[in-house]
A and B are shown apart, each in its own frame.
Chain A
Amino acid sequence: DTEVTQTPKHLVMGMTNKKSLKCEQHMGHRAMYWYKQKAKKPPELMFVYSYEKLSINESVPSRFSPECPNSSLLNLHLHALQPEDSALYLCASTRLAGNYGYTFGSGTRLTVV
């Protein structure tokens, strides 16, 4: 298995809703990432987990809450989002040792109404 799987592929939520994005990989990668990508822009790093512990938070608003329950799974909990949070949310993973590349998932297209 050489993939990062993200669900759902599309999500529409109201500003008072609570929803979660899910990311899963079975490549044994011990670093997992959340990126946000707006239209016609490059991805922007949000969070990094290494060995299931949060190691980087790029000053992301608290309405985004990441969670890494185990080495294969990464969640992003969403609450009280704003319309400007509408974007493509990408999950990625990497090995921690060696000169490695990043594997990205296919993304979740989020629309906040």
Chain B
Amino acid sequence: KQEVTQIPAALSVPEGENLVLNCSFTDSAIYNLQWFRQDPGKGLTSLLLIQSSQREQTSGRLNASLDKSSGRSTLYIAASQPGDSATYLCAVRPPAGGGSNYKLTFGKGTLLTVNP
């Protein structure tokens, strides 16, 4: 059974700092990994999708890496801003084939606070 762990559970940083959020998963047989952002009481906003064959994806100040063999992904946020404060979730999707392919396994998230 796939398990996803996110460390740290909470992180507080001053504005402008570069930071790294970690996600690890127990089964390296994944189809892809997706990073989401969630503001309090809101839905999930997709940040980056990394295919199992890819090593990294970038969008603006965000960079996500994937090391499938070691079961790890990191989300790097450059020059953090107070508006980046949110919960960040990573989710892995199992390989294609079978009904379980639809089911994402989520980590419990990292609550990020960026202080002005």
Q: Which residues of A are at the interface with B, using a C-beta cutoff of 8 A?
A: 4, 6, 31, 33, 41-43, 45, 48, 50, 55-56, 88, 90, 92, 94, 99-107, 109
16 sampled A-B residue pairs with Cβ under 8 A: A6-B43, A42-B89, A43-B44, A45-B102, A55-B99, A56-B103, A92-B44, A99-B32, A99-B51, A99-B52, A101-B34, A101-B46, A102-B44, A105-B43, A106-B43, A109-B41
Most buried by B among A100, A101, A104: A101
Q: Cβ of A90 and Cβ of B43 under 8 Å apart? A: yes
- Indicate if the CB atoms of B32 and A45 lie closer than 8 Å: no
Q: B29-46 CB contact bits vs A (8 Å, 1 = yes)?
A: 001101010000111111
B49 at the interface (CB under 8 A from A): yes
Given the complex, which residues of A lie within 8 Å of B52, measured CB to CB? 99
Cβ contact of B102, chosen from A4, A6, A56, A88, cutoff 8 A: A56
CB pair A48–B102 under 8 Å, yes or no, is yes
By a CB distance below 8 angstroms, the chain B residues around A50 are: 102
Contact A107 B102 (CB under 8 A): no
Residues of A within 8 A of B32 (CB): 99, 101
Q: Nearest A residue to B105 by beta-carbon distance?
A: A42
In the complex, the answer to whether A56 meets B99 with C-beta atoms within 8 Å is: yes
Q: How far is the CB of B63 from chain A (nearest CB, A)?
A: 17
Other-chain residue from A41, A43, A56, A88 in contact with B41 (beta carbon distance below 8 A): A88
Stretch at the interface among B11-19, B64-72, B78-86, B106-114: B106-114
